[in-house]
């Protein structure tokens, strides 16, 4: 899982600012998943993307959150007008293809703190 | 979605002891993974084990897909094994259990 790179590792934002979280998948992986982990809780699915496509965003809050995975460059999770409740660890995972029988690898996460 | 339940929720072990963690899931799956989240928050892949048994050093895992459960065995536990162990099953996305928090004391 060392191949999935997330940055920054830690991010502090004031209420109302924007947060941009980046995820570079493992080489050869074209599928990216974003998960959120609130303190003392498990990981909750947010969004699943393939290059230039959002496949499933059923876990994304309806407002302020967006995600993209452009043809070139990392996947971006964007949170506008952050609030204290957005403070969490955000993980991304990548896999090589759309299939249930492939192993996914997670990045080290971005810990967002909203002050 | 799939329900994933892990037990026990918390576990305290003396260094050198063995333990078994359990993961039950509510639907048939073709993909199950075990992860260790260390005290620094990093998620480490332990096993990709949709069925059968695998071993890696002091850790081993068994998944009985037809009965919808998986077990993670930790033998001769060490303080570095402390952290939270998650199982996750994949259908249309990964569904995570709530984890087992393991503390190994010297």
Per DSSP, A64 falls in state S
Mean of the per-residue pLDDT values of chain B = 94
In the numeric block, which tokens belong to residue A89? 């660890």
pLDDT of residue B78: 97
CA distance A108 to A91: 7
**Best mutation site among A36, A42, A56 for testing chain B: the one with the most B CBs within 10 Å?**
A42
**CA-CA-CA-CA torsion for A58, A61, A63, A65, nearest 10 degrees?**
-90
Query: Rounded to 5 degrees, what angle do the CA atoms B65, A3, A35 make?
Result: 60
Q: For residue range A29-77, what is the model confidence (pLDDT) as tens digits?
A: 889 999 999 987 889 999 999 999 999 999 999 999 999 999 999 999 9
How does strand A31-37 pair with strand B52-56?
unpaired
pLDDT of residue B20: 98
Cβ-nearest to A104 among B42, B94, B95: B94
**Which chain B residues have a beta carbon less than 8 Å from that of A1?**
43-45
DSSP result, chain B: ---EEEE-SEEEEETT--EEEEEEESS--S-EEEEEE-TT--EEEEEE-SSEEEEETTEEEEEEGGGTEEEEEE-S--GGG-EEEEEEEESSSEEE---EEEEEE-
**Which chain B residues have a beta carbon less than 8 Å from that of A40?**
none
Select the highest-mean-pLDDT range: A98-102, A103-107, A109-113, B42-46.
Answer: A109-113
Taking CA–CA distances from B90, the nearest residue in chain A reads A100
Whether residue B31 and residue A1 make contact (CB cut-off 8 A), yes or no, is no
Give the pLDDT band (50/70/90) at residue B57: very high
Whether residue A43 and residue B90 make contact (CB cut-off 8 A), yes or no, is no
CA distances from B11 to A53, A110, A111, B58 (A): 42, 27, 26, 17
């Amino acid at each position: 899982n060392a191949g999935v790179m997330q940055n920054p590792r830690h991010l502090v934002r004031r209420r109302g600012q924007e947060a941009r979280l980046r995820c570079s998948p493992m080489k050869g992986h074209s599928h990216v998943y974003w998960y959120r982990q609130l303190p003392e809780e498990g990981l909750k699915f947010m969004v699943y993307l393939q290059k230039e496509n959002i496949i499933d965003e059923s876990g994304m809050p309806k407002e302020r959150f967006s995600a993209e995975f452009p043809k070139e460059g990392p996947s971006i999770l964007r949170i506008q007008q952050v609030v204290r409740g957005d403070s969490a660890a955000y993980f991304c995972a990548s896999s090589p293809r759309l299939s249930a029988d492939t192993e996914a690898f997670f990045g080290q996460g971005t810990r967002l703190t909203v002050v | 979605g799939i329900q994933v339940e892990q037990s026990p929720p918390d576990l305290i072990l003396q260094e050198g002891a063995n333990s078994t963690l359990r993961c039950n899931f509510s639907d048939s799956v073709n993909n199950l993974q075990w992860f260790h989240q260390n005290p620094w928050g990093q998620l480490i892949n332990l096993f990709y084990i949709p069925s059968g048994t695998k071993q890696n050093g002091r850790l081993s895992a068994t998944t009985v897909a037809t009965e919808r459960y998986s077990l993670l065995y930790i033998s001769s536990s060490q303080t570095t094994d402390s952290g939270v162990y998650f199982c996750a099953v994949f259908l249309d996305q990964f569904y995570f259990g709530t984890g087992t928090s393991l503390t190994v004391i010297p």
